[in-house]
Structure 1
Amino acid sequence: MLKLSFPSVARGWAQLPAASTSKVLAVTCSRKLSTDDGYIHRSLVPTEHYQKSLPRLPIPKLEDTCSRYLAALEPILTTSEYKDSEKIVNEFLNGQGKELQAHLVAADKQNKNSSFIHQPWTEVYQMDRRPVVLNHNPFLGFVDDPDPTQNTQLNRTTNLILSSLRFYRTYRAGLLEPDIYHMNPAKSDSDRFKKLIRYVPKSLSWYGAYLAKAFPLDMRQYPYLFQSTRVPKRGKDENRRYPDSKHIVVIHKGHFYSIDALDSNGDMLDGGVIKSSLAQILEDPREVNFNSIGYFTSMNRDSWADIRDELESLNPELIHKIDSSMFVLCLDEYDVAKRAPGTEISVADAIPLIKNGLHGEAYNRWFDKCFNMIVTKNGKGSIHFEHSWGDGVSVLRYFNEIYKDSIAKHHVGPTEGGSAVKLDPELSPNLIQALENARGDFEKVKNSFVLDVMKFEGFGKNDLRKLKVSPDSICQLSFQMANWRFKREFVGSYESCSTAAFKYGRTETIRPCTKETKACSIAFDKENPAQLDEMSELLSACSKKHNKLTKEAAMGAGFDRHLFALKFLNNKLNGAPLPIFEDPNHAKLNYIILSTSTLVSPALEVGGFAAVVPDGLGIGYAMFDDWFGTQASYYPPGNDGSEFIKELTGVCEDLKTVLNGKSFKEPRQV
């Protein structure tokens, strides 16, 4: 099974406690249409029990940030370029940087209910004028239901919706298990601990968990997971929430519909009612609507903002219906990666599946929504989500929970009583022309986007851990080595790391291109490899350095977000440019050629994101027990992912050879 990538943080999930039978019966008796108690589980500890006592995201010391910044610059610059930047950084450290740091610390003390990065990082998404599709929005693709009979479009969609509603209601009721990373699950992930910690005051609960080597994670992004949308505005978008909405908007063949999901009391409608509504939509005989307003959400944000004003003036109820929906369901009228039940997905099949999840057909998407649930004609399900409202932690939790719930609780009741309301827009001649232009632009971008995939079975996590090297460090090293062999350069590189262990934490950057990976890449050069002992030592050094960078990032001790916050603050205070941010080497470091991210989940079959610059690579990857999977997205002729993947395969063979205590003398054929 080919399982690939997505931005995430390593985490442990708690065993879900069994529901209280008496409580379930009481809830069931009070409901008219529910087939179960309407929750995925009932946590012994309230969902937000730890939120009040979470530690605040620390502001690093300015001297530490400057030192880490220079360390990241060194491997991608010449000696003279580095000296130029070093001088600029030292002047910043001893001058304007001190003043900005004092302002940042003071502002942070006045804003104790947030973090120093929350507002700036949200705004960087909201102010980006590029289309959200491919530039920002990632996706996750579900593993099929183990029961082949449930993988029809109607059955799969019904089960995923019902599980989504159970998840939503569980969170809203405060019964969702809190997000926690367990260092010692035997101690902290137990009913005994949970029964004790729930009585610890909220203001102290984090400390109680910490004593048990458990680290609660921030859950403040969860309210935006459902019932929210991104609204285009000139210069800067905004995020809106509609916490009382009870319907889902469905798109099929480019036509829009609304179906009820919750009743007036917020209880789930019966599965048969929802399934009946979906069946009506799937049976609608209308042809594909290639003039779908979904294309508008693929536009440049300022252009879309202008168009939306006119669209909304003609269709206020329709636009409100879409904006306020719990989420958007996209029922695709075509098959993707169709194969015999129970067989593993091939590398060739993974590519169209990933492309459909990342961009699909814009006539059947609403890219601004908190998330699009996508189900193809042959029952392949995925979640495509808008990124400005939050990061992958909450989406991954939702994704994992509804997969587990959906395969355990199949709807097997009758199909009856549903009702789907058609939402047909009114379009002016100006809107029709704008729509045609948007469709043309989207098709150009879609057709220029390319993916290549690698599955390497020469080693996996088990092998690397036995050799006492970090699996993630070997993945990241392999990308640096492959790019060096392909391009003969070291470039701006990015790996995502969550800082959800802190109040209003977002993400931090791990910089995988280091002095150590540079030295190792050169030592492993095919034309003139170093001696075996030297290569082995360099591998160990790369592993240690990567572990150190990962730990620093996760603990809020990276440099990227700190520098970004200082730049953001400087722009707010006076707007005068500072040499450190005008330095061309600063731009070089932040021009991300290699954008990387990883995720492994038993619910995930594929996932991904696009390259973030025209000549870059979007590298999604996952290391499993006995194999290593990678995908590379790119836009020719800016880059060539197929050549990168060829080089990467050769690199992995060479790494395998050296890790097994052997040397290679001849250049490898790639």
Structure 2
Amino acid sequence: MAEAHQAVAFQFTVTREGIDLQLSHQALTEIYLSGVRSWKKRIIGLKNSVITGVYPASPSSWLFVVIAILATMYTRSDPSMGLIAKIQEHLPVSTQCQTLVSAVLFSTMLWLLLIFTMRMCLKKLLSYHRWMFEKHGKMSNTTKVWVALVRIFSGRKPLLYSYQGSLPNLPVPAIKDTVKRHLESVRPLMDDRQYEHMTKLAAEFESSLGNRLQWYLKLKALWSTNYVSDWWEEYVYLRGRGPIMVNSNYFGMDFMYVTPTPIQAARAGNSLHAFFLYRRKLNKEELKPVSTVIPLCSAQCERLFNTTRIPGEETGKETDMQTHIDTRCDTVQHWQDSDYIAVYHRGRYFRLRVYQAGRLLSPREIEFQIQRILDDPSPPSKGEAKLGALTAGDRIPWAKARVKYFSSGVNKRSLDCIEKASFFVSLDDDEDGVTADDPASLDSYAKSLLHGKCYDRWFDKSFTIIYFKNGKMGINAEHSWADAPVVSHLWQHALSTDCFQLGYNAEGHCKGEVDSSLPRPQKLNWEIPPECEEQISQSLAVAQALAGDVDLHVFSFQDFGKGKVKKCRVSPDAFIQMALQLAYYRDQRRFCLTYEASMTRLFREGRTETVRSCSNESSAFIRALEGGERMTKAAEKHQHLYRLAMTGAGIDRHLFCLYVMSRYLGVESPFLKEVQSEPWRLSTSQSPMHVEMFDLVNHPEYVSCGGGFGPVADDGYGVSYSVLGENILSFNIACKLSCTDTSAHAFGAQIRKALRDLLQLLIPNQTEFKTEEKRPEAKKDL
């Protein structure tokens, strides 16, 4: 194969005349350019490290301080109060240079001290969160002064990681506050006898073991950057031994009503180019830090590309989160750079380089290369077609198979190629997406993104991009390395760049010219023994049983959106959460412990916290449903809980870490054991919409249904929702078909009814709602 020969830099043959050395100039050129690119990246990284290290000052401010000190010395004054003279005494240089060198050294120390002071001031300012608890439009004088000081100390033109050193550490809440809030959150779920029992356990814990565990936890908080995140990643994600497909991975969807091109390869060409443009900005730290009023932590962005999850072998006799057994733990592996992607099509795996002669391929060239893969007639190797099922099944069989069958030879080289790729791409032979005359098409599209055929995705990669035959696309992301908002920002940036910046020609192809001399994508080779094929079949059976049990329903709600809700002076998120509580109560005739994901990225290396949406106020409102007053109180309570979670005063991460600490110490806590056994029958999350990337006024049709995830509890619902512009809400609902008490479509109908009923309650004169969900019309062509 030609591509195999091009990969070899030199060959030699022993003949009678001696050794015949044959050099491949193309391969050597590629090696040279790859090295140049690598060194450029290192130099950029070093430069950015210096800029970030002195932020909020700039490196050029050093020269200003030096000149200022020298100027004051010229006027025969001593700004150092004798320190410059003391430095002079210890300098081994000539007398003529002593004054200048000592002044520069003093200026440098003064500059570093000023930077340290500014960073400490900024860190203290970013620790102020009272602004979150003030009513909208009513800012206190203290907050006004705080806003002004933040602007003064924040510097100009920050890089992506500029604020990292100034973000505060996540605080450890007081035991008594966490216990009190927990008891308050479970009160509507328990009868008097159960609540009295829980109160007794809580009191015993708070007065005895809790204080000991809290002391160790505070010690960890002093030592580590974030006392939660490392344990959360390890115990919640990486120690799970069940399939990550459906149970952990989540998905993101394409535009609902627009397909920019029906050509599969062209859609891949534009969007893949957009992903690498984003990676270039990420590597250069040119992405603006995401912020609310203050900047959020950007640490999760570091592992977005060139990352994979490695199935773990036995790590020793440690204490598992639930039982005293030997534990096994996966690991997250990240590589600094990768100039190619791994592509799957019809059971074959390919390596596709996206850089040629040191430059990123154009969208048209990537389309050309993708089309080559689509047209490749070669069959899969024996055992190759369903190899990806290993990543979809249980983790222990995959870990054992990886060590036994993929640790050497051609299998290791091919597996390394997939795991070290920038990300994974799946070219699907099916047509999917929204069909106007088929309401269920959105459901099947979402299921395809969530699990596909169980072998045509590589679920261990940080993310997989799926391209369907009709030009639709989607994303499936692994969860351990980062949370959904990080992937969502990348995904929506790629969608926006694809349609509004790159575009297509009249035939639907990518714009630009093609260099037809590009080397063909390299097909990966495998030698799969029969024993490994048997394991692949077993993993596939496990994955297919799991996928077949998923009941998934996706719909867009277009009767009204956040615009009308905000006019009622109610938070859109609180409004939706109250609607979910009402829908669940009507569906199950009971309340349940409700999980709503909230971020803690106001703190360094922060990830998520739980907002327990089912409260005394929300349950009282739903039971009464007699007037707008209780609705307002319930919504305000939810917002208060959300703010507490964001500012480090949540319940569940603190209790989780206390439980982990108790297991490390080998002590039992009936209270913590009871807390950890509480089931989350309603798990919810809002998919963020970055409206600045889209023009929803002129192009309202460019909206998606956000994303979703699989059911969390066997007898519960997983609900992901998005607020799309001012007039549309979207919902992704998942549950298990094996549970006779749940139905995704029935719960979706209850959500629609609850949304309408709540708005009718807040606006009694509301006219009758629309009964059909209509596609928005485009106001003008692109």
- TM normalised by structure 1 equals 0.81
Q: Counterpart of 1:241? A: 334
Q: Report the alpha carbon displacement of residue 547 of structure 1 after superposing the two structures with TM.
A: 0.8
Residue 578 of structure 1 aligns with which residue?
Answer: 669
The Cα shift of 1:164 comes to 0.9
2:81 matched residue in structure 1: none
**1:609 and 2:709 aligned:** yes
1 or 2 for the larger relative contact order (CA 8 Å, sep ≥6)? 1
**Residue by residue, what CA displacement relative to the aligned partner does 1:57-97 show, whole Å, maximum 9, x if unpaired?**
11112111111111111111111111111111111111111
Check conservation: 1:274, 1:418, Cα contact below 8 A: no
Cα shift at 1:286: 4.5
Distance, in Å, in 1 between the alignment partners of 2:563 and 2:428 is 39
Structure-2 residue corresponding to 1:565: 657
Q: What does residue 337 of structure 1 align with?
A: 433
Question: What SS does the aligned partner of 1:161 have?
Answer: helix
> Quick one: distance in 2 between partners of 1:402 and 1:486?
38
Could you tell me whether the CA contact under 8 Å between 2:686 and 2:721 is conserved in 1?
A: yes
- Distance (whole Å) between structure 2 residues aligned to residue 75 and residue 346 of structure 1: 41
CA contact (8 A) 1:163 1:402 kept: yes
Identity %: 28
Aligned to 1:168: 279
> Are 1:596 and 2:694 matched, yes or no?
no
Instruction: Identify the residue that residue 256 of structure 1 maps to in structure 2.
Output: 349
Deviation sequence 1:507-541 (CA, Å, 0-9, x none): 000111111111122123xxxxx4xxxx2111011
Q: How do residues 519-668 of structure 1 correspond to structure 2 at under 5 angstroms?
A: 519-524=620-625, 530=626, 535-572=627-664, 574-583=665-674, 586-588=676-678, 591-601=679-689, 605-606=704-705, 607-624=707-724, 625-638=726-739, 639-661=742-764
Q: For residues 478-521 of structure 1, give each alpha carbon's deviation from its aligned partner in whole angstroms, at most 9, with x where no partner exists.
A: 11112212211111211111111210101000111111111122
For the Cα contact (< 8 Å) 1:456–1:652, is it kept in 2? no
Task: Give the secondary-structure state (helix, strand or coil) at the position aligned to 1:653.
Answer: helix
State the alpha-carbon separation in 1 of the partners of residues 257 and 496 from structure 2. Answer: 9
Secondary structure of 2:286's counterpart equals: coil
Within 2, Cα distance between the matches of 1:374 and 1:245? 20
Q: For residues 432-460 of structure 1, what are the alpha-carbon distances to aligned partners after superposition, in whole Å with 9 as ceiling and x for unaligned?
A: 11111222222222222111234444432
Where do residues 403-482 of structure 1 align in structure 2 (5 Å cutoff)?
Answer: 403-407=495-499, 408-410=501-503, 411-415=510-514, 416=516, 417-482=518-583
CA distance in 1, matches of 2:512, 2:186: 61
For the 8 Å contact 2:583–2:754, the answer to whether it is kept is yes
- Residue deviations 1:252-290 (CA, integer Å, cap 9, x gap): 11210001123575x423444433321110102256888
Secondary structure at 2:610 match in 1: strand
1:79 equivalent in structure 2: 192
Structure-2 change in CA distance of 1:165 and 1:650 (3 Å): closer
The structure that has the greater radius of gyration is 2
Match of 1:63 in 2: 176
Q: Read off the aligned partner of 2:656 and give its amino acid letter.
A: F
Q: Which residue of 2 aligns with 1:527?
A: none
Q: 1:300 aligns with which of 383, 394, 397?
A: 394
Question: Cα distance, 1:300 vs. partner?
Answer: 0.8
Instruction: Verify the 8 A CA contact 1:459 1:656 in the aligned structure 2.
Output: no
Residues 467-486 of structure 1: CA distance to partner in whole angstroms, max 9, x if unpaired?
Answer: 11222112111111122122
Equivalent positions of 1:374-413 (< 5 A) are: 374-407=466-499, 408-410=501-503, 411-413=510-512
* Aligned pair partner of 2:166 in 50, 53, 58: 53
How far apart, CA to CA, are the structure 1 residues paired with 2:761 and 2:485?
36
Q: What secondary structure, in the 3-state scheme, does the structure 2 residue paired with 1:64 have?
A: helix
Whole-angstrom distance in 1 between the partners of 2:765 and 2:256:
41
Per-residue Cα deviation, 1:236-265 (whole angstroms, up to 9, x for no partner): 100111113211100011210001123575
Gaps of 5+ in 1: 1-29, 32-42, 184-214, 525-529, 664-670
Tell me if structure 1 keeps the 8 A contact 2:709–2:718. Answer: yes
1:472–1:270 CA distance, 2 compared to 1 (3 A):
closer
Count residues in correspondence: 572
State the alpha-carbon separation in 1 of the partners of residues 456 and 439 from structure 2. 26
- Counterparts of 1:151-190 in structure 2, within 5 Å, are 151-181=262-292, 183=293
Say what the alpha-carbon RMSD is for the aligned residues. 2.4
Distance 1:74 1:389 in 2: 35
Correspondence for 2:220: 107
Q: How far has the Cα of 1:409 moved from its partner?
A: 1.9
Q: Name the CA distance, whole Å, in 2 between partners of 1:319 and 1:580.
A: 45
Moved more, 125-134 or 170-179: 170-179
Residue 223 and residue 454 in structure 1: after superposition, are their counterparts in 2 closer, same or farther (change >3 A)? closer
2:340–2:353 CA contact under 8 A, matched in 1: yes
Q: Secondary structure at the match of 1:129?
A: coil
Secondary structure at the counterpart of residue 361 of structure 1: coil
Match of 1:133 in 2: 245
More off after superposition, 604-613 vs 502-511: 604-613
The offset of 1:56, in angstroms, is: 1.2
**Distance of 1:248 and 1:623 partners within structure 2:** 33
Q: Paired residue for 1:204?
A: none
SS in 1 for 2:417: helix
Alignment partner of 1:368 out of 460, 481, 484: 460
CA separation of 1:290/1:536 partners in 2, compared to 1, >3 Å: closer, same or farther? farther
* Matches of 1:400 and 1:592, distance apart in 2: 30
Amino acid at match of 2:344: I
The residue matched to 2:603 in structure 1 has which SS?
Answer: coil
Partner letter of residue 704 of structure 2? E
State the partner residue of 1:231. 310
Deviations 1:569-627 (A, max 9, x none): 2212x2222111222x6522xx1111111125257513111111111111122344234
CA contact (8 A) 2:562 2:572 kept: yes
Tell me the CA shift for residue 44 of structure 1. Answer: 3.9
